[in-house]
Amino acid sequence: MTAMRMETDGLGTIEIAPDAVWGSQTQRALENFPITGVSISHYPELIVALAAVKKACALTNRDLGRLSARKTEVIAKVCDEILDGHHHEHFVVDVMQGGAGTSTNMNANEVIANLGLRALGADIGDYGQLHPNDDVNRSQSTNDVYPTAIRLAVLARINPLRDAMRTLSRAFHERAEVFDPVMKVGRTQLQDAVPMSLGAEFRGFGTTIDEDCERLDDLSRLLMEVNLGGTAIGTGINAPERFGETAIAHLCEITGQPLVPAADLIEASSDLGAFVMFSGTLKRIGIKLSKICNDIRLMSSGPRAGIGEILLPPVQAGSSIMPGKVNPVIPEVVNQVCYQAIGNDLIVTMAAEAGQLQLNAMEPVIIHKVLETMGSLTNAMTVLSERCVKDIVADEERCRALLENSLVKVTELAPVIGYEAATKLAKYAQINGLSLHNAVEPALSDDQAKVSLEHLTFGHTGGVA
């Protein structure tokens, strides 16, 4: 068996696999937090964000005379490799951890230091030449590195989410144009209400998705305020003068994000209100999306014993026992993703509330749940548009039959013959199982019947009731 590598820290000596490029703090986190089985590398945006922060801080320490050019160069080189997608497999700590993200920060510090040592031709763990804390983490604390990195990670996931929303919206609007000529029964409280076009219904779906694209843009600006340079609690202890503003300037250049320093670093080190608002918007998206999927499932129900106004593309066999059955599996899975978004928002809310004094130790679960929700919603909306919405077909005959057999056009008669007469007509048709057209003459006076028949035949919404 290969001999284990030994590292010593303030807690004692610990064994580490000889090929591992992390150090003692990461190893302890692996042993202490076997919680979800989801490592931080599951979220590549987070790893890239950590590397961007470390590079920005190294360049700033060099600019302010706190780090040699040689050490800066090797740290920046390793960070660039991580930014390009390399070495992510070494970020191994569980995304759920105690310590307000310290294990994540130390995982980054140790990996960057050891990969830097390898580049220098030194042995892994030879921290006299490049140290995880003294060099890679110089002028920093987990309490400003981690909050900055998690904001960058969320910002990196906004564009894919917004793109998926816009793709879904386009799919609904395209179907709306196709379905505009198809008249159907509009419903309130699951009861027949008034006529409408199927196109108008689908256009409404698209519009409700469009609205939240704008909300994402608004909220992304809240996440651009960072507390880098505040170090432990926002006082800037152990950081040289101008460190924060210089590091943020470098970070803007590295990431392309228009980041700004927080107005109050102490407040920014403990307040997670921006994540609460952002998560709330993700919940709003989930609620609205789930409602749309509920509608699609209802409209496609049947196909013969339900509403059956639309036909969903058959993508999967629906039953192991009922031959030929096809279920609305895509809307169903999207519903479940939306429930996850709603539940995750509660977790974020409780975690943000749990902050105490100058720090919130629950940041790891917040970023885990926000990124999880963003990823699931992005995938769900992509699947919904590509595997369902774009290939939905209207059953025009069914829509027409339901409309003609309904009583919904009686609402249009109320201004013409009066509410009482219209009510009388609707009740007569319902009791006797007649269409409105066939119930007009036996239910109304001759004058009312004549006007009603003309209106029903040439009504502005189209179709004969």
Residue 460 pLDDT class (50, 70, 90 cuts) = very low
Predicted pLDDT at 95: 97
Lowest mean pLDDT among 12-16, 40-44, 403-407: 403-407
Inter-residue contact 260 to 195 (CB < 8 Å):
no
What integer best gives the mean pLDDT of the chain? 92
Beta strand pairing status for 12-16 and 5-9? antiparallel
Predicted pLDDT at 411: 81
* Secondary element (H or E) of residue 287: helix 273-299
CA 28 to CA 120: how far, in whole Å? 26
pLDDT tens digits, 64-86: 999 999 999 999 999 999 999 99
User: Which residue, among 157, 145, 156, has the nearest Cα to 55 in the 3D structure?
Assistant: 145
CA 405 to CA 235: how far, in whole Å? 73
Predicted pLDDT at 465: 35
pLDDT tens digits, 349-394: 999 999 889 889 999 999 999 999 999 999 999 999 999 999 999 9
| Backbone phi, psi, residue 93, to 5° | -70, 150
Inter-residue contact 148 to 226 (CB < 8 Å):
yes
Lowest mean pLDDT among 236-240, 294-298, 386-390, 416-420: 416-420
- Domains belonging to the chain, first-starting first, are 19-138 (1.10.275.10), 147-222+271-397 (1.20.200.10), 407-457 (1.10.40)
- Pick the residue with more confidence: 404 or 117? 117
First to last CA, the chain: 84
Lowest mean pLDDT among 39-48, 262-271, 405-414: 405-414
User: Which residue, among 141, 138, 159, 154, has the nearest Cα to 55 in the 3D structure?
Assistant: 138
Provide CB contacts within 8 A for 274, sequence distance 6+. 151, 219, 222, 223, 225
Residue 464 pLDDT class (50, 70, 90 cuts) = very low
Inter-residue contact 102 to 91 (CB < 8 Å):
no
Residue 319 designated active-site: yes
Q: How far is CA 454 from CA 15, 215, 437, 451, in A?
A: 90, 47, 10, 5
CA 440 to CA 436: how far, in whole Å? 6
Inter-residue contact 4 to 15 (CB < 8 Å):
yes
Q: Which two tokens stand for residue 295?
A: 């509608």
* DSSP string of 419-433, one letter each residue: HHHHHHHHHHHHHHT
Predicted pLDDT at 461: 46
CA 272 to CA 398: how far, in whole Å? 52
Instruction: Encode 332-351 in three state secondary structure.
Output: HHHHHHHHHHHHHHHHHHHH
Burial grade of 364 (CB within 10 A; 0-12, 13-18, 19 or more): buried
- Active-site annotation holder among 319, 385, 406, 435: 319
